[in-house]
Structure 1
C-alpha cells in the first residue's frame, strides 16, 4: 500500500515565466489557508519591486499543484570573500529590501496537505544546497518545516520545469533531512484579538478590557474630545491613500529615527514597495489607511490590511508631541478601529508580531513568530557554535564573579 504522499513530487524551477507563476499562484491561493503575506497582492508586488532572478519549488500530487514557494538565492560574503549561499523564502536576504517585513511566511500549500507537503518542499530546497549554504525562513509560525520521519517523495531538480529531471529518491532526501540543523536567529510574539470568543460569551470590547485599560482609554478620549470631535478619515482613493501614507513619514521618522535601517520611510525601496502595494490593494479594499484627528489636532495615521475578514495592523505613525502623558494616541486609535471592525462584521483584529503593552491590552490570542535557518552540519558552523558557547560561559562567569564581589 502506498503512503498518503507517495504521489507527491517536488520540482525545482529556475526563473519561471511570470504569467505562468501568477496564474498557478492565484489558483492555489484559493485552496490555501488565508494569508495576506502569501497572497498574490503581496507576493506579486514584492517580485515586481525587488526580484530579478528566483527559483520556484513546486509540489504536485498527480497533476494537481499542491505547493509553491519562491526562493531567492543570495551569495554570502565577508570582506568580499564568498562563504556560501543563503536561500531565502519570499525574501531577498538584503536587509533594505526585507524591511517590508513579511509575517506568517510559509510555502503556499493546499491546506488539506500542508503538514505533509511542507517538509517535502523544504527537502527539495535543501537538496540544492552544499557546504555552508543555508535556507532561511521567516518570520513564520512555529510549524514543522523539517520532518525526520520516513517519507516518500520524488524531487525533480532541473533548470526548467520539464528538463534535467535528476530524481532524488525519498530515502535519500529523508536521510539528508535527518542531518539538517535548525537555528532560530530572531523570535518574537504575535498578538491578536479574536472576536469569536467575546461574541460567544456575549461580551463587548469594553467588558473584555481591564478596568485600567477602560479608564486610560476614556480619560484620553475625553481629553481629545475637549480639543474637538475625534474622527477617523479612511482613504477612499489611491491618491488619498498615498497622501496619507506620505503624511505618516514625519511622525514615523521622529519616533524611530531617520536612518534607513531605523524607519522604513527613510528607505526608498520600502517606499516604492508600499506605494505600489497601495495602488494595487486599496481599490480592492485590502489596504486601509486611516487618518485620526481630534478637531484640527492630528493624532496620526494607522496603516492596516484587510484579508479574509480580518483586520491586520501593519504600521502606525502617531503624534506624541503634545507633552501630555495622559494622551494615548495609539491606544485610542486601535480602540476606535477595533470597534469599527467589530461593527462591520470582521472576525478579529491582528496586531501581528512585536511585543508592546497596547497589544497585550487588547489581545486574547498569542503566537510565536521566528526566523529560522536550516543547514547541514559543517566544520565552519561547528567552530561558530563552539565560539558562541565559550562566550556564553565567559559571560556567565563574569556575572557570577561580579555578584560575589558585591557580597559583604
Structure 2
C-alpha cells in the first residue's frame, strides 16, 4: 500500500530517524547524515519533509524549504529541495542534489510531491545543482520548466599518480607553465608537502587561517566570502569537530612557505574540493600556488586510494586545466498546478516557443527566398 506524509518544521531527531530507517546511501556528501547534522545544528530557517511509504516503510523522501517571491504584482510561494530558501542558510551550498531513496521510486515520488505541493499552496519547485542521472529526465526536458545548466570538473586518480604524472597528462602549454612553477617553488623554498590536520586544535587553527585567506581574496567580491556568514562558518566548524571521516582540512607548503589550505569532503571513492584559502602573496609570473596546491593534493589522495578528485561546479580556468572529466549540473524551476503555477507554465512555454522558433528561422534563413 502506497502512502505519503508531509511533516512541517522537521527536527534533526525526526530526520535522523528517517535516514536510519531508510538506510539510504547517497553519492552526494551534502546528503550524507554527517553533513545534514552539521547544517541542522546551525541553520535558522525551518525545512519540511515529504515522505513516500511502500508497505508502511519509507521508500523515498526529500527535505523542502519555502520562500516567497514577488513578481508581476503577485506573491509566489516557492519550494526548495534540500534547502531552506534563505540565502544565508543555504550558502553552505549543495551539489549533486537529489531526493533520498532508491532510483526505482524516484519518478513516482516526484509525481506525488508535485501533487502535495499544490495542496500546500506552493507555486514553484526549485531544484538546485542536480545531475541528469539523479533526477527524472522528463523534468529536465519539460518545456514548462525553467532550467539552467552549469559544468563541474573532476580528475580521475590512480595509486601510481605523482604530481609529474598528472602534469604529463596536460596540454603542452600547461605542462611547461606548471613544471616551471614547481621548479621555482622547490628552488626558492623547498619540497612540496601536504599536511592533513589532526586533532581539534589543529583543525580549527587551519580553518582560521583558511578563513583569513578566503576573506582576503573574496571579501570585496559581489557575493563576498562565505566566512563572513556565521551559519556557513559554524557549519564547517561542526563538520571538522564531529565528522572526521567526511570532512578534513589540508595545508600545502613548499618548505616553510605556505601555498594554502583546502577543506575537503570525502564520500566513497571521491574527494570533493569544497573551498580553499590560497596564499596569493606567493604568486608571481612563474609561480602559481593554487595550481600547485591542487596537484599536490591530487597526488596525496591518489596514494590514499581514492579514484576521483572532484572540483564540483564552476568553470574556473584552473579546474578546466587540471580536470579530465566533466559533470553537467541542472538547476530547475518546475511550476506546479496552482493558479500562479499555471501562469508560470504558460509564460515558460511561450518563452521557450519563441526561442525554438527563432532558432528554427535562423537555421533555415539560408534556404528562404529574400
- Aligned position for 1:161: none
Q: 1:230-284 CA deviation, whole Å, 9 max, x = no partner?
A: 3222211222112211212232223223468321122222112212222222xx3
- Aligned position for 1:88: 80
Deviation of 1:37 after TM superposition, in Å, equals 1.0
1:181 has 2:144 as partner: yes
- Which among 61, 66, 75 is matched to residue 59 of structure 2? 66
- Which among 125, 128, 135 is matched to residue 138 of structure 1? 128
Superposition RMSD in Å: 3.3
State the TM-score, normalized to the length of structure 1.
Answer: 0.75
- Aligned position for 1:335: 295
The change in CA–CA distance for 1:259 and 1:268 in structure 2 (over 3 A counts) is farther
- Aligned position for 2:100: 108
1:321 partner SS: helix
1:294 has 2:294 as partner: no
- Aligned position for 1:355: 315
Matched-pair contact (CA < 8 Å) for 2:61–2:101: yes
Matched-pair contact (CA < 8 Å) for 1:182–1:373: yes
Q: CA separation in 2, counterparts of 1:388 and 1:266?
A: 39
State the TM-score, normalized to the length of structure 2.
Answer: 0.82
Deviates more, 1:69-78 or 1:87-96: 69-78
Q: CA separation in 2, counterparts of 1:71 and 1:227?
A: 53
1:93 partner SS: coil
1:378 has 2:342 as partner: yes
Q: CA separation in 1, counterparts of 2:179 and 2:352?
A: 49
Matched-pair contact (CA < 8 Å) for 2:143–2:348: no
1:49 has 2:48 as partner: no
- Aligned position for 1:119: 107
The change in CA–CA distance for 1:26 and 1:325 in structure 2 (over 3 A counts) is farther
Deviation of 1:18 after TM superposition, in Å, equals 3.4
> Unpaired runs of 5+ in structure 2?
358-370
Q: CA separation in 2, counterparts of 1:54 and 1:235?
A: 33
- Aligned position for 2:218: 256
> Unpaired runs of 5+ in structure 1?
1-6, 150-177, 394-408
The change in CA–CA distance for 1:345 and 1:143 in structure 2 (over 3 A counts) is closer
- Aligned position for 1:212: 173
Q: CA separation in 2, counterparts of 1:258 and 1:120?
A: 45
